[in-house]
Amino acid sequence: MSDFLQFVFSGLTVGAIYALVGIGFALIYNASHVINFAQGEFVMIGGMATVALIDLGVPLLPAALVAIAIAALVGVALEKLAIEPARNAGVVTLIIITIGASILVRGVVEVVLGKQFHRLPSFSGDQPILVGGATLHPQSLWIVGALVVLVVGLKLFFDRHPFGKAILATAHNRLAAQLVGIEVKTVLVASFALSAAFGAIGGILTAPLTLTQYDVGVMLGVKGFCAAILGGLGSPFGAVLGGLIVGLAEALAAGYVSSAYKDVVAFVMILLVLFFMPSGLFGTKGTERV
Amino acid sequence: MANPALGRWGGLIVLIVVVAALPLVLPNKFYYDIAVKTGLNALVCVGLNLLIGYAGQISLGHAAFFALGGYASAVLTTRYEWNGFLALGAGAVATGIVAYLVARPILRLKGHYLAMATLAFGIIVSLVLNREIWLTGGPDGITVPTLRLGDMRLRSAETWYWITGGALVVVTYLALNLIHSPSGRAIRALHGSEVAAETLGIDVARTKTMVFVLSAVIAAIAGSLFAHADRFITPNEAGFLRSVELVTMVVLGGMASTFGAIVGAALLTVLPQALAGFDEFKHIVLGAILVGTMIFLPKGLVPSLGALIRRWRR
Amino acid sequence: MTARNPSRRLALCLGVATAVMLGALGGAQAQQAPIKIGSFLAVTGPASFLGDPEAKTLKLYVDRINKAGGVAGRQLQLVVYDSAGDAKQAVSFAKRLIDEDKVDLIIGGSTTGETMAAAPVVQEAELPFISLAGANVVVEPVKKWIFKTPHSDRMAIEKIFEDAQKREFKKVAVIGGPGGFDQSCRAEAVKLAPRYGLEVVANETYGANDTEMTPQLTRIRSTPGVQAIVGCGFGAPTVITARNYKQLGMQNIPFYFNHGVGSDQFIKQSEGATEGMRVPVAAVLVGDQLKADDPQRPIVTDYRKTYTEAYNEPISTFGGHAFDALLIATEAIKRAGGPDKAKVRDEIEKTKDLIGVDGIFTMSATDHMGLDLRSFKMTEIKDGKWVLLY
Amino acid sequence: MTSLEVAGLAKSFGGVTAVDDVTFSITPGHIHSIIGPNGAGKTTLFNLVAGLYVPTSGTVRLAGQDVTALAPHQRAALGLGRTFQNLQIFFNMSAIENVMVGRHLRRRAGFLGSLFALPSAWADNREARAQAARLMARVGLEAYLDAEADAMPYGALKRLEIARALAAEPSLLMLDEPAAGLNPTETQEIDRLIQSIAADGITVVLVEHDMKLVMGISDHIIVLDHGRLLAQGTPAEVARDPQVVAAYLGGEPA
């Protein structure tokens, strides 16, 4: 039983990160119908920039805030310099563009910050908390807590704030949004900035638990994509559930089945969902018009 | 172009001449080695281009087929002491069967969902290759014996150059045949409009499956040749980034252009070599080239240049 | 995971990394072409703990040797490629060193995977190759052209099990990655355990790019009767293992690592999670604690001083492996009177009582490593420092 | 013997019924038109007949054979051809290649024959090209043979779709708004083309908004409104039907 709890803790912690990356995918997809394969790089930038700033003597909180801002700026730059000029390109072209951008970002980080891996100190020490025979790392609480706060915040933003509503409206029907006077371009930029910030927060929160390096973004990006698809592409809150499900499934599989095949679990799951529920667990079905 | 057939076969002749003449300028074995890798990548890309460029179906998991072919050769020749050519054939057939089995459910999907599904398939294959250490040797790879033809041991880089070059010419010839045949037009029709294709009597699912299996088999053969040429293979050959690399070659060279695929493969194989001196900035340059090409030459290098030449002629 | 060192994977079909050419600058005495030493090392990537100090050591000492007049009257030229710990790239670079750079001798392969991948190429090209990899498989069975400097994983396990036996442990757990070195180490552990009255009750493995080892450690924790854990591996995964070990509050179970973690980096990155862990390492890491009459003391002290002064960072056992490889190579070239490949190979095999920082080397036709357990030291990490036990 | 028979056909999309219990039959060799206001369900009906949508209930018969469970390409093999309201041109091919795709059902070479360029594939190509060129001339596109489809004007593409559909030698041809977006001269040409197609013995089913065209060339008209069959008969009969006048003709000065 304590083992089960341990796997659940581990799964929720990892799942929360996938969720944060998944939200990023959903936000960008909603605004632009682009799958941003550079999403994982925001996670990497968050962690790496914070490490670099702390090494320069900046305290944790300001360092984290600046890192989030840097990631958001990279997100905006990505939209302005790479996505917008290729607005009318096909799916494949856009995928290649975002992949190219992710290589570019990794290349820059590699040159500026080096290829070594780094770690951040834990926010509240490393003393594990005992819960029902299992141990919970304080950083896990930070991660899950941050996810809850961000999701609630995002929900309120969409429901209450006029700009949040504008983002939702654009996702729903771009043309109609334009007609009622919503600045679609601003929505696009904001979506990229927002999803970059979410990714960066994820990167900063996990760096104390795992390690961060210029290339950690690739796998996180793919897992986040899994979360987004599982939750139904374009549904930020579906992506949260998708992320948690992927994380939990991985941890339980690692614990009870085979740690060697934990990554396979996520991908087998995604294939099954795509084969039997092509619009994801929480997505809606669309019909093609001829 | 006044006569499309002229461009088609003219291109093939140019390819043959390049393959035949290249050894005159290759200074040593190391360059032969690069040429072999270029050729094998081009081989995969010609096949992948049939799927992505002509049929309009993206695959972010194609490296898996390459690796399946390579590992079939590696495992069958080392662990079970099969004849190399038999192993190559078995690898191609087995990969074809795997491709056939995954094709139906996967190819029903479109766009991003298809991208995700093929990506997931590729990652699963690469994970299995990484984890089944008893069979594959794990992440550090497996050594592959020299390919033997009778008593002849095919091991020098020069020999492999001619094998690869020959295979590339043959596969290019077949691809050109296919594209300009009834089946090829059916494949291209899928890209143009699936509904229209259906209403003209084209069995969409079957056609997609055919082209998927064909491109997978070509990749598997290239993978087998690669394993023997390099005499070593690691699960990285099946990895996500290897798949992305292959797609990038196709898109960079030009989708729906067989020679574009070859040019793209050559460029992305040789470019990192040329950038060796600027090691620090290599990834920045590579990323910038990818993004830049897609934005400014969205059709890829060869079609864009072709259009330019045609305009200039007029 | 497959996405090992990703941008590199994409960028490099063949893989070409930094070619650091430290050539003979003293033009006057360079009537003869320099002796070329090639190297491929995991300077970056998950094994950069190993490759980085190795590359730095080679550069530093090739420079010093050249300033002192070279070897056998000729200058040395060093060509280093970064394989990022990837076996595939190691093969490419081995070929490049042989065919394009036409080197006389190769030092390198930071990891067992790289070394074993390149081994057939080197054997076929017939040139001496001194590996810096740990696993026994590198030199057993003996391969004509291949030598190595670090202690083997078998020795590490023997050392660990001796210690475990002294502490009267009966049941141990093993944890390691899927790479060649880890695999070999785990296999040795399972094989040797009965000889020390030990039973391996849990044998856990993680993926090469896993970011947490919590499930594996949890399973070890809930295996009844585990008295000690033996970690097989190097680089980032070992750091994560150590951190997770502490995060799970498992310090009541003693932890041994093999010699793949022998650097201050490991302690630093693990942030105190390594307190109390025991690791068998080469003497160089605890050079200041060696007895005054220890024959290795002078050379170890000198290496520590030279390296720290040049790079302003603590030494590691890995740099020591590279130092010894260069030492063995240059001594053999001197005796052979030049870089003739076959002669140098024979001379390397004749290395006898050569004091290096890893130990005292005596090679033979059946022993291409030439070290024994005497020079292998058991240490414990106390207050973030390597402390020599015996 | 009917060319097309639709019985109790219905299709709803998530609660919205687009086609509701429609029954009619079409006799061979005439020009039939389906008319109705926007949203009457005409295109949905086409898609149901072509097999692009699966009906919620009802059956579709082609030349007496129940095809309700058949895929679109199987229906095409039974002699059903169509064009599209929103152009479905293969923009990745030349004009003549578009039409050559239409010869797909008439090919002899298989996949392997195509791959290895066996004589059968050569023969196919020759035959398909000749037929396609003839059909393009027939629809007035002889000037566009090797033009890239994406460089052709709209009116030409409309006719290209018809040529492509004809290439499959259908016995029943469904044209979805062939005159939409065309100027009066072009509309007249289409008018003549449709009549000549019908004269060849091909049954034509037309969805069209241009009332002048419909009334002028149709032998038989089916009127849909809100997914239901409102009336059917000759142009004169339909034009007299008070329900039709109220629902459609009256609502739109034609």
Residues of B in contact with C208 (CB under 8 A): 130, 139
Pair B254, B301: CB distance under 8 Å = yes
Judging contacts by C-beta atoms under 8 Å, the chain B residues touching residue D109 are: 181-183
Q: Do chains A and B touch (3 or more CB pairs under 8 A)?
A: yes
The two tokens of residue C119 are 């081994």
Q: Flag if B239 and C9 touch (Cβ within 8 Å).
A: yes
Please give the average per-residue pLDDT across A196-204, as a whole number.
94
C120 touches chain B (CB under 8 A): yes
Q: Cβ A82–B295 below 8 Å, yes or no?
A: yes
Put simply, whether B242 touches C (Cβ < 8 Å) is yes
Q: What is the pLDDT of residues B61-95, one digit of tens each?
A: 999 999 999 999 999 999 888 999 999 999 999 99
DSSP, collapsed to helix, strand or coil, labels residue A290 as coil
Q: Is residue C187 part of a domain?
A: yes
Q: How many beta-carbon pairs under 8 angstroms link B with D?
A: 120
Q: Is pLDDT of D161 > 80?
A: yes
Q: Which of B125-129, B172-176, C311-315, D221-225 has the lowest mean pLDDT?
A: C311-315
pLDDT of residue A280: 66
Shared domain check, C206 and C92: no
For residue B280, what pLDDT is reported? 66
pLDDT at site B1: 37
Radius of gyration (C-alpha) of chain A in whole angstroms: 19
- List all residues of chain A from 191 to 230 with a beta carbon under 8 Å from chain B: 218, 222, 225-226, 229
What is the 3 state secondary structure string of chain D? CCCEEEEEEEEEECCEEEEEEEEEEECCCCEEEEECCCCCCHHHHHHHHHCCCCCCEEEEEECCEECCCCCHHHHHHCCEEECCCCCCCCCCCEHHHHHHHCCHHHCCCCHHHHHCCCHHHHHHHHHHHHHHHHHHHHCCCHHHCCCEHHHCCHHHHHHHHHHHHHHCCCCEEEEECCCCCCCHHHHHHHHHHHHHHHHCCCEEEEECCCHHHHHHHCCEEEEEECCEEEEEECHHHHHHCHHHHHHHHCCCCC
What residues of chain B lie within 8 A of the CB of A82, using their CB? 291, 295
Over 50: is that where the pLDDT of C3 sits?
no
Instruction: Say if residue C84 is in the same domain as residue C183.
Output: no
Q: Which residue has the tokens 């698809």?
A: A229
Select from A7, A8, A21, A23 the least CA-distant residue to A153. A23
* Residue to substitute from C1, C7, C13, interface B, most B β-carbons within 10 A: C13
- Gap between the Cα atoms of C282 and C316, Å rounded: 9
On the question of pLDDT at C15 being above 60, the answer is: no
Q: How far apart are CA A288 and CA B290, in angstroms?
A: 32
Considering only the beta carbons, identify the residue of B178, B200, B204 that sits closest to D101.
B200
Q: How many residues does chain C have?
A: 390
Domain map (residue ranges) of chain A: 2-276
Per-residue pLDDT averaged across A157-184, rounded? 85
Annotate B184-252 with DSSP letters as a single string: HHHHHHHHH-HHHHHHTT--HHHHHHHHHHHHHHHHHHHHHHHHHHHTEE-GGGGSHHHHHHHHHHHHH
pLDDT at D77: 95
Within this chain, do residues C281 and C157 fall inside the same structural domain, yes or no?
yes
Q: Domains in chain D, start-ordered, CATH in brackets?
A: 7-79+170-249 (3.40.50.300)
Task: Find the helix or strand (DSSP H, E) in which C89 lies.
Answer: helix C87-95
Which residue in B294, B297, B301 has the most chain A C-beta atoms within 10 A of its own C-beta, making it the best mutation to test that interface?
Answer: B294
C243 plus C336 within the same structural domain: no
Overall average pLDDT of the C34-47 stretch: 88
Tell me what percent of the residues of chain C surpass a pLDDT of 90: 51
Instruction: Look up residue D199 and give its amino acid.
Output: A
Selecting from B38, B235, B273 the residue whose C-beta is nearest the C-beta of C2 gives B235
- What is the dihedral angle through the alpha carbons of D131, D132, D138, D141, rounded to the nearest 10 degrees? -160
pLDDT for residue B293: 85
Query: Quick one: closest CA in B to A89, which residue?
Result: B298
Q: What is the mean pLDDT of residues D155-179?
A: 94
Tell me if A259 and C271 make a contact (CB, 8 A cut-off): no
- Report the amino acid identity of residue C187: A
> Which residues, numbered 170 to 229 in chain B, qualify as contacts with chain C under a Cβ-Cβ cut-off of 8 Å?
none
* Count of structural domains, chain C: 2
* Mean pLDDT computed over B273-283: 69
Task: Say if residue C57 is in the same domain as residue C205.
Answer: no
B131, C15: Cβ pair inside 8 Å? no
pLDDT in tens, C276-301: 999 999 888 888 888 888 899 999 99
Whether residue C162 is found in the same domain as residue C103 = no
Per-residue pLDDT at C16: 33
Q: Which residue has the higher pLDDT, B277 or A113?
A: A113
How far apart are the CA of C18 and the nearest CA of chain B, in angstroms? 6
* 3 state SS of A87: coil
Q: Is A103's CB within 8 Å of C10's CB?
A: yes
Report the C-alpha gap between A157 and A151 in whole angstroms. Answer: 10
Distance (Å) from the C-alpha of residue A86 to the closest C-alpha of chain B? 6
User: What pLDDT score does A125 carry?
Assistant: 82
Distance of CA D236 to the CA centre of its chain: 24
**Do B84 and B58 form a contact (C-beta atoms < 8 A)?**
no
Determine contact: D51 vs chain A, CB below 8 A: no
* Residues β-bridged to residue C228: C172
Identify whether residues C327 and C342 lie together within a single domain: yes
Query: Does the CB of B247 have a partner CB in chain A at under 8 Å?
Result: yes
pLDDT of res. A244: 95
Coil, strand or helix at B12 = helix
Q: Strand pairing partners for B209?
A: none
Q: In this complex, do A255 and C219 lie within 8 Å of one another by their Cβ atoms?
A: yes
The verdict on a CB contact (< 8 Å) between C13 and B131 is no
Tens digit of pLDDT for each residue in D105-148? 988 888 998 999 889 888 999 999 999 999 999 999 999 999 99
Are D and C touching by the rule of 3+ CB pairs within 8 Å? no
Over residues B217-244, the mean pLDDT reads 92
Nearest-5° Cα angle at B19, B14 to B23: 135
Contact yes or no for A268 and B124 at CB 8 A: yes
Interval C70-93 mean pLDDT? 88
Q: Which residues of A81-107 are buried (b: 16+ CB within 10 A; e: fewer)?
A: ebbebbeebebbbbbbbbbbbbbbbbb
**C78, two tokens:** 């060093």
Q: In B43-57, which positions are buried (b, 16+ CB within 10 angstroms) versus exposed (e)?
A: bbbbbbbbbbbbbbb
Of the pLDDT bands very low, low, confident and very high (cuts 50, 70, 90), residue B314 is low
Domain around C173:
153-288+376-388
pLDDT of B277 > 70? The answer is no
Q: Please give the model's pTM, rounded to 2 decimal places.
A: 0.89
pLDDT tens digit sequence for A235-269:
889 999 999 999 999 999 888 887 778 888 889 98
3-state secondary structure at position C31: coil
Count interface pairs A-C at CB distance under 8 A.
101
A260/C207 CB distance under 8 A: yes
- Given a contact cutoff of 8 angstroms between Cβ atoms, the answer to whether D215 and D207 are in contact is no
At A118 the pLDDT is 83
The SS3 call for residue A115 is: coil
List the structure tokens of C18.
């930094």
Let me know: does C107 contact C42? Beta carbons within 8 Å. no
**Multiple choice CATH, A2-276, 3.20.20, 3.40.190, 3.40.1350, 1.10.3470:** 1.10.3470
Tell me if chain B has a CB within 8 Å of the CB of D81.
Answer: yes
- Residue A38: closest C-alpha in chain B: B287
pLDDT(B167) > 90:
yes
Distance in Å, alpha carbon of A133 to nearest chain C alpha carbon: 11
Residues D72, B195: C-beta atoms closer than 8 Å? yes
Residues from chain A that touch C211, judged by Cβ atoms under 8 A, are 14, 206, 209-211, 216
Rounded to whole angstroms, how far apart are CA atoms C321 and C317? 6
Which three-class secondary structure state does DSSP give residue B142?
strand
User: Looking at residue C4, what is its pLDDT?
Assistant: 40
DSSP, res C258: -
Task: Kindly report the backbone phi and psi dihedral angles of residue D252, in degrees, each rounded to the nearest multiple of 5, phi listed first.
Answer: -140, 110
Interchain contact, A3 vs C239, CB within 8 Å: no
C208 near A CB under 8 A: no
- Whether the CA torsion B27, B30, B33, B39 is positive or negative: it is negative
Q: List residues bridging with B43 in a β-sheet.
A: none
D200 or C89, higher pLDDT: D200
CA-based nearest residue in chain B for residue A232: B113
A1 pLDDT tier (thresholds 50, 70, 90): low
Q: CA of B117, closest CA in chain D: separation in Å?
A: 24
Q: Mean pLDDT over all residues of chain B?
A: 89
Whether C55 and C111 map to the same domain: the answer is yes
Question: Which of C223, C249, C234 lies closest to C176, judged by CA?
Answer: C234
Encode pLDDT of C202-256 as tens digits. Answer: 999 888 778 788 888 988 988 899 999 999 998 888 999 998 898 888 889 999 9
Distance in angstroms (rounded) separating the CA atoms of residues B128 and B67: 11
- Whether D34 has a pLDDT exceeding 90, the answer reads yes
Query: pLDDT digit string (tens) for C45-67?
Result: 778 888 989 999 999 999 999 99
- Answer positive or negative: Cα dihedral of A107, A109, A115, A118: negative
> How far off is chain D from A286, nearest CA to CA, in Å?
10
CATH classification at residue C262? 3.40.50.2300
Phi and psi at A135, nearest 5°, equal: -110, 140
**Closest partner CB to D121 (pick from B181, B191, B196):** B181
> Residue C269's pLDDT is what?
84
pLDDT of residue C13: 31
> How much is the pLDDT for C118?
92
Fill in the DSSP letter of residue C263: B
Residue D80 and residue B189: Cβ atoms within 8 Å? no
Residue, of B91 and B293, whose pLDDT is higher: B91
What is chain C's mean pLDDT, rounded?
A: 86
C284 and C160 within one domain: yes
Q: Is residue C367 part of a domain?
A: no
Q: Does the CB of B301 have a partner CB in chain D at under 8 Å?
A: no
The pLDDT score that the predictor gives to residue B6 is 59
- Pairwise CB contact (< 8 Å): D88 & A287: no
Angle, CA B199 vertex, CA B196 and CA B201 arms, to 5°: 115
- Residue C39 pLDDT grade (very low, low, confident, very high; cuts 50, 70, 90): very high
Put simply, whether B244 touches A (Cβ < 8 Å) is yes
Residue in B240, B279, B282 nearest the CB of C3: B240
Beta-carbon separation of A290 and D13 below 8 A: no
- Kindly tell me if the per-residue pLDDT of D9 is higher than 70: yes
pLDDT of residue A279: 67
Measured CA to CA, the distance from residue C64 to residue C306 in angstroms comes to: 10
Paired tokens of A213: 């390096």
What's the confidence (pLDDT) of residue C7? 41
The reply to whether residue A128 touches residue C249, judged by beta carbons under 8 angstroms, is yes
- Taking the Cβ of residue B199 and every Cβ of chain D, the question of whether any pair is shorter than 8 Å is answered with yes
Q: How many CB atoms lie under 10 A from the CB of residue C309?
A: 9
Is residue C51 within 8 A of residue C82, CB to CB? The reply is yes
